[in-house]
Structure 1
Amino acid sequence: MRILIVEDDALTRMTAAMLLEEAGYAVDEVGDAEDALTALERQPNVFTHVFTDVSLPGTMDGLSLARTVQDRWPDIQVVITSGHPATRAADALPHCVRYLPKPWTSIDVLNVVI
C-alpha cells in the first residue's frame, strides 16, 4: 500500500506521514494538488490512497483533487480531512470519499486508510 499525502501544513503532513510509515505503509508527501496530480501521473498504478486536506494552495482544492482522482484513477481510495464542519455536508463531498475531521488522532488516520 502506498499513500499520497496532500497537505500544505508541513507539521501536519509530517505527522500523518510518520504515523502511516510506522504502521508499515509507504508514503509520498506533497504540499498541493498540482504536485499530487504530477505524482499520480508519473506513477498511476503505485498509489492505493490519496489523503488530502480540503484547503490547499494553488488553483485546485482538496475537493477538486478528489473528484479528479476519482475520474482518472477510480481504484484509488480518497480520504479528505478538514477542520471546517461544512465540508462534511453530503453535497460537498464527492461520491465514495471518506471524510476525517480535524483534529484527528493517529488511530483515526489508521482506521480511515484500512
Structure 2
Amino acid sequence: MEAPNQQSQTILVVDGDVITRSVISDYLRHCGYRVIEAHDAREAQQALNHAEFAVDTILCDVDLPGNMNGFQLSKWVRENKPEVKVVLSAAVERTASAAGDLCEEGPHLAKPYEPATVVDHIRRLKGGS
C-alpha cells in the first residue's frame, strides 16, 4: 500500500464502538498514519490538548457516548483547533450528510464504510492525491 508523507500525519479516531475504532485505527496505521484513539469527546479533547504529535485530522462518529456528540465536538474543534480537519461519520446517511455540512468541504461518511474510503477522504481533505 502506498503511503507518501502519511507518516508525518496524525489521525485522531473518535468512536464509542471499540471494534469499529480498532479496525479503522489498525487500517490507518497500516497505511502509514500515526493514530490516536479516543472513546468519547472528552478523551478526544484531552488528546488534542496533550498529544505527543499534533493532530492533523479527526475521524469522528456523530453518535458518541458521554455529554458531547460528534457534532458538538466538531464545533469545539473549529473554535479551538481550527487547523485540525474533521471527518464525521454516522450510521444513517441523512445524519452523515448533515454532519458534512459542519465540516470544511463537507467530508462525511455513512457507516458501514470501507477503510479505503476513509483514507481517500483524508487524502482529499489534506490536499493529497
Question: Take 1:74 and 1:31, find their aligned partners in 2: how far apart are those partners?
Answer: 22
The two structures have a TM-score, normalised by structure 1, of 0.91
Bigger relative contact order, structure 1 or 2, given CA contacts below 8 A and separation 6+?
1
Alignment partner of 2:69 out of 61, 66, 78: 61
For 2:4, the equivalent position in structure 1 comes to: none
Summarize the alignment of residues 97-108 of structure 1 with structure 2, pairs less than 5 Å apart.
97-108=106-117
1:53-94, CA deviations, whole angstroms, 9 ceiling, x for partnerless residues?
A: 000110000010011101111110100011122213448731
Would you say how many aligned residue pairs link Structure 1 and Structure 2? 114
1:32 aligns with 2:43: no
The within-5 A match list for 1:1-114 is 1-43=9-51, 46-90=54-98, 93-96=101-104, 97-114=106-123
Rounded Cα–Cα distance in structure 2 between residues aligned with 1:98 and 1:65: 15
Which moves more between the two structures, 36-45 or 72-81?
A: 36-45
Unmatched 5+ stretches in structure 1: none
Is the CA contact 1:53–1:80 (under 8 Å) kept in the aligned structure 2? Answer: yes
- AA aligned opposite 1:27: V
Whether the 8 Å CA contact 1:44–1:73 is kept in 2: the answer is: no
CA distance in 1, matches of 2:118, 2:100: 21
RMSD: 1.8
Task: Report the CA distance between 1:112 and its aligned residue.
Answer: 0.9
% identical equivalent positions: 30
